[in-house]
Amino acid sequence: MADSKPAALRTAVATEFLPVAERVKPHTKLIALLALGHFVIDVNQGALPAVLPFLKHVHTLSYAQAAMIVLAANVASSIIQPLFGYLSDQIARRWLLPLSVFVSGLGIALLGLAPGYAAVVALVIVLGLGAAAWHPEGYKTASSVAGDRKATALSWFSLGGNVGIAVGPPLMIFLVAGLAGDGFRPAHTLGMLGPTLVVGTLLLAVLPRLTRESAAPPAAARAGDSGLNMPRAMALLILVVTMRAWSSLGFSTFVPFYYLDTLKADPRLVGVVLFVFLGAGALGTVVAGPIADRVGARTFMQWVLLAAIPFGALFLVSSGPLAFVALGLFGAALTSSFSVSVVLGQAYLPRNAGMASGLIVGFAIGLGGAGVTALGWIADRWGVPTALWISALMPLAGFALTRFLPAPRGHAAA
């Protein structure tokens, strides 16, 4: 009995300090590489809203048909993501990472050469499938090498994607409209193959090392405590993310139409406007990670959606530089919860990290894309500003739902 207390102390000290030693050795190079791949995937995805007004004009589409293109993209890239997440949980498929980059690039690059509406939808589905295959495997890989401060590490991984979404629109506008903005040059969408081929080839070249370094089990798994799944909490979180995605996709889809059709602005401004909205969202993601690690992912999710609402409303009632500032702040507040929601989702489903990533980054956002289809119907009947007002106020519903989110249980709660 005399040795029992010192033995217990030795065990406690070992348990206390082992995770601290591990958390200082994240695979920063691997996270940077994954962030670069995430960047290209979302450059390809982010380019779609910018080219959409040109496709609408060339193929004489209605707002509802344009919204259906967005729906097709989101169904392909988001709704089926849990399937890829399920496959990722069964066995690691790192080869999906370079393959998905090539597939998404092919879909967006051929979009300008599509002969009709059906071909546009088909290519958008190809683009979406590439994104769907990337995200669960990418988030699971990044999480496995992120160390203890997952919100911070995943915020940097997510930064690659959010910067890509922001860069995609001006890059596409530069390719298809040029500096003069004197017409639509559809064949120039092939220029999107450039970053795709470079980064896809790089990922393919380092695939053996990528597989080896990300194969080690995370600290939680080695500790023998993988946490307890909370399916009801996950279902509620999916509804929250759906409200956020509905708002964000509503703005990224209809703000270009608002400037072109309602304000009669220069077409070249479309890329700038989307860059402000999405670029500010990328910065918000980086700022959010350390804050969420400090105050908790659940607390952060509860209040950031409420903070976004005034800026969305201010954008719609202002003009000039103030409108740009309001749009940027709305994008920053709205998108800042992106990586935080993935961290919270993995805490609710700690035994199925790939599935959790697919449900949050994929399924929930896909449901938000379905809401954009309804906004297209509204825009056809009551105008684009009405659709934008609904999008601006949608975070209020998300905030109300977050008040019922429970705290994660078990190891994940730490």
At 237, give phi and psi (nearest 5°): -65, -35
**Residue 247 scores a pLDDT above 90:** yes
**Closest CA relative to residue 331, chosen from 108, 165, 155:** 165
Instruction: Specify the range with the lowest mean pLDDT, choosing from 30-39, 220-229, 307-316, 375-384.
Output: 220-229
What tokens does 129 get? Answer: 């499938």
**Alpha carbon distance 128, 134 (integer Å):** 10
Q: Is 122 exposed, middle or buried (0-12, 13-18, 19+ CB in 10 A)?
A: middle
**Closest CA relative to residue 377, chosen from 49, 119, 66:** 66
335, amino acid identity: T
What was the pLDDT predicted at 227?
Answer: 66
What was the pLDDT predicted at 6?
Answer: 42
**Alpha carbon distance 147, 174 (integer Å):** 39
Q: pLDDT band for position 224 (50/70/90)?
A: very low
- Domain ranges for the chain: 27-413
The region, left, alpha or beta by phi > 0 then psi within -120 to 50, assigned to residue 147 is: left
Query: Whole-prediction pTM value?
Result: 0.68
**Rounded to 5°, angle at Cα 258 from 255 and 263:** 135
What was the pLDDT predicted at 219?
Answer: 44
Rg (CA), the chain: 22
pLDDT digits (tens, 9 = 90+) for 170-223: 888 888 876 555 566 778 889 999 999 999 998 888 777 666 655 555 444 444
pLDDT digits (tens, 9 = 90+) for 326-351: 999 999 998 888 878 888 888 888 88
Which whole number is the average pLDDT over 239-261?
89
pLDDT digits (tens, 9 = 90+) for 123-168: 999 999 998 888 878 877 777 766 666 666 777 787 888 788 878 8
Contact between residue 340 and residue 292 where contact means Cβ atoms under 8 Å apart: yes
pLDDT digits (tens, 9 = 90+) for 51-64: 888 888 888 888 88
What was the pLDDT predicted at 342?
Answer: 83
Instruction: Specify the range with the lowest mean pLDDT, choosing from 33-37, 249-253, 355-359.
Output: 355-359
Q: pLDDT band for position 8 (50/70/90)?
A: very low
Contact between residue 288 and residue 337 where contact means Cβ atoms under 8 Å apart: yes
pLDDT digits (tens, 9 = 90+) for 364-375: 877 887 788 888
CATH 3.10.180.10 for the 27-413 domain, yes or no? no
